[in-house]
Amino acid sequence: MFTNDEINLMCIYNTGTRDGLIAELTQMRSYLGAEETELLALTDSALEKLRNMSNGEYTALNLLPDFDEEVE
């Protein structure tokens, strides 16, 4: 459901609750400039998915960062 990049972003701002994470990502998004298109799109995608899931589905997520992905 979530991409690796979305999970990593959510790990950074995770408060332990779905509503808390939504609030943190929304606040962080307000500080982004229009030129930060990739981060804006990533944040919007994660927020949309979080808003469309239940608290139970959120609790089942494994919000551990995956730093094993190779960077090109």
Over residues 1-22, the mean pLDDT reads 94
Provide the CB-side half-sphere exposure for 47 (13 A, CA).
Answer: 15
pLDDT in tens, 15-67: 999 999 999 999 999 999 999 999 999 999 999 999 999 999 999 998 877 66
- The pLDDT assigned to 36 comes to 96
Q: Where are the domains of the chain?
A: 4-59
DSSP 49-68: HHHTS-HHHHHT------TT
Task: Take residue 8 and report the two structure tokens written for it.
Answer: 């990593």
pTM for this one? Answer: 0.86
